[in-house]
A and B are shown apart, each in its own frame.
Chain A
């Protein structure tokens, strides 16, 4: 790759040679396209970007980009991304994964990432199912959805990631639909540019285990009202909407967590005096 910056990079420059192994029809293909497009729009060079994920179909994303990537363990993308961003604030760090990865096994990290408000962008490809392990209910699956592991459905109220993110302190909250890659890309750009922890929840159908999600294309609609910076209003709105409202729903002004580091680096030998009796 050339290092001249004269020629602007295009989405293609952010795509790796690796062919995705997703099922044809999977929403994640569009999301990948939107991610690479957003990267080109943002204009940071691929080597200055790191994409961090856990495990799941959606978590395969890092290797499909031409950036630095980390495909870690199930549920732990956010702490890994946090550690990287805190130690390397110069990098653009994006975490990505599924609803099971982010809201179930990684649920605690999700809360604390919102609360900690490190300057990260978190892209959740929510297909309301565990795709990779063959169709078990996730925290966002409707209660009546029947599956081999949970016959008759969970009977549980679905997790509401956006409201929870708002309550926990996320600084940017948006929802989009994978089948709308142009707007999704635009929202990713906005999420990246907004300081602090940005959650972008992307409805991304699993055509294999939730074929009925193909109908999402007909159900989604742009949010009828403009984005707000009023957390309570945003929460009330997403709590009462139909779940298919897309757009930027909240844009806050919390200062990102950026621990003040003393740049005057002292040699650790200087600590020895304190051990003298």
Chain B
């Protein structure tokens, strides 16, 4: 599908950020429940950042007020691009693995806007989409930088030394 109006673009943009924030929050809680506090904290931080983006979108463009019917969101994927799918995490995941997932998510978001920008005719709407794509590209660079700063000594393959616990 192509996005042809500002409201639809803003609704998608807001959904991308707020769903990502919500998902990070949820994943952070899962990690804490599984005693992986390091990654839990990391996801919490990512949740904060995404929530801030959502708030900014809302402040600058009034995006929180535009919502679509659930079926009118069109992602070309099972979920909105910036969420890490529930299935892609693991209780022993390392911060590097977590950030690699986050990086992939930011890239998906960037690609989403770039794809739409390319399909929108010249004009305000296209400018806005390009702007959003640039922001996501910035996030990609930020997560990359974060990744490169990570202490690699912490990186060995983590393996569960215990059998799963029957309940």
Q: Does A touch B (CB under 8 Å) in the complex?
A: yes
Check A217–B87 contact: CB distance below 8 A: yes
Residues of chain B within 8 A (CB-CB) of A24 are 27, 30-31, 34, 36, 89-91, 93
Residues of chain B within 8 A (CB-CB) of A183 are 78
Check A25–B87 contact: CB distance below 8 A: yes
A29 and B89 CA atoms in complex are apart in Å by 12
- Please tell me which one of the listed residues A21, A25, A41, A207 contacts residue B70 in the complex, with CB atoms under 8 A apart: A41
Check B78–A180 contact: CB distance below 8 A: yes
Q: Which residues from 146 to 167 on chain B have a C-beta closer than 8 Å to any C-beta of chain A?
A: 163-167
Residues of chain B within 8 A (CB-CB) of A179 are 78-79, 85-87
Check A20–B33 contact: CB distance below 8 A: yes
Check A207–B90 contact: CB distance below 8 A: yes
The reply on B29 being an interface residue by CB < 8 A is yes
Q: State the main secondary structure of chain A at its contact with B.
A: loop
- Please tell me which one of the listed residues B70, B91, B163 contacts residue A23 in the complex, with CB atoms under 8 A apart: B91
B46 → chain A, closest Cβ, in Å?
15
A22 and B91 CA atoms in complex are apart in Å by 10
The reply on B60 being an interface residue by CB < 8 A is no
A207 and B90 CA atoms in complex are apart in Å by 8
The reply on A132 being an interface residue by CB < 8 A is yes
Check A182–B79 contact: CB distance below 8 A: yes
Residues of chain B within 8 A (CB-CB) of A180 are 78-79
A136 → chain B, closest Cβ, in Å?
10
A179-201 contact mask (Cβ, 8 Å, vs B): 1 or 0: 11111011000000000000000
Q: Which residues from 40 to 86 on chain B have a C-beta closer than 8 Å to any C-beta of chain A?
A: 70-71, 73, 78-79, 85-86
Residues of chain B within 8 A (CB-CB) of A133 are 166
Q: Which of B36, B87, B167 has the most CB of A within 10 A?
A: B87
A190 → chain B, closest Cβ, in Å?
12
Residues of chain A within 8 A (CB-CB) of B30 are 20, 22, 24, 29
Check A29–B73 contact: CB distance below 8 A: no
Q: Which residues from 207 to 235 on chain A have a C-beta closer than 8 Å to any C-beta of chain B?
A: 207-209, 214, 217
Interface on A for B, CB 8 Å cutoff? 19-27, 29-30, 33, 41, 57, 132-135, 177-183, 185-186, 205, 207-209, 214, 217
3 pairs of A and B residues whose beta carbons are closest in the complex: A180-B78, A24-B30, A29-B86
Interface on B for A, CB 8 Å cutoff? 26-27, 29-34, 36, 70-71, 73, 78-79, 85-91, 93, 163-167
